[in-house]
């Protein structure tokens, strides 16, 4: 009984070369289904990050509204030292200027500056 082999070799299994794509050698793999539990971790992490950002923004805006800084006091125009400085004569004579300098009390000019 002769087989029709174009190479003329004996068709026993030892003469065949290994073919990984042949249906006899491939192991059928079960179909891969997506793991539904694998997407829960990133989703929880994203939700936590968003919550932290929202809580931080709320804290920031509430702290801006509850700012307890004192308003700057308006300038007091009735300060006696300032009134004495402003009441200078309009003359440019040397005697008038000297009288203005002598009349001006500069001792308490820095009394409002507290250290």
- Region of 28 (left: φ > 0; alpha: ψ -120 to 50; beta: rest) is beta
Average pLDDT over residues 2-14: 53
On the CB side of 103, CA atoms within 13 Å amount to 14
Q: How far apart are CA 69 and CA 8, in angstroms?
A: 103
Position 50 pLDDT exceeds 80: yes
User: What's residue 79's pLDDT?
Assistant: 59
Q: What percent of the chain has pLDDT over 90?
A: 15
Residue 45: pLDDT band with limits 50, 70, 90: very high
Other C-beta atoms closer than 10 Å to the C-beta of 99 total 14
For 55-110, how does the pLDDT look when each residue is reduced to its tens digit (9 = 90+)?
999 999 888 877 666 667 676 656 565 665 667 777 788 888 888 888 777 776 67
Please report where in the chains the tokens 């804290």 appear, as a residue. 59
pTM tops 0.85, yes or no: no
Q: Are 104 and 85 in contact (CB under 8 A)?
A: yes
- B/e letters for 7-39, b = 16+ CB within 10 Å, e = fewer, are eeeeeeeeeeeeeeeeeeeeeeeeeeeeeeeee
């Amino acid at each position: 009984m002769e087989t029709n082999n174009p190479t003329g070799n004996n068709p026993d299994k030892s003469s065949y070369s290994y073919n990984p794509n042949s249906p006899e050698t491939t192991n059928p793999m079960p179909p891969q289904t997506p793991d539904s539990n694998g997407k829960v971790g990133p989703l929880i992490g994203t939700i936590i990050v968003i919550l932290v950002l929202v809580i931080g923004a709320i804290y920031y805006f509430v702290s801006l509204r509850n700012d307890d800084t004192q308003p700057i006091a308006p300038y007091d125009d009735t300060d006696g030292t300032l009134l004495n400085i402003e009441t200078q004569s309009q003359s440019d004579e040397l005697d008038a200027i000297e009288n203005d300098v002598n009349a001006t009390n500069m001792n308490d000019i820095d009394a409002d500056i507290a250290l």
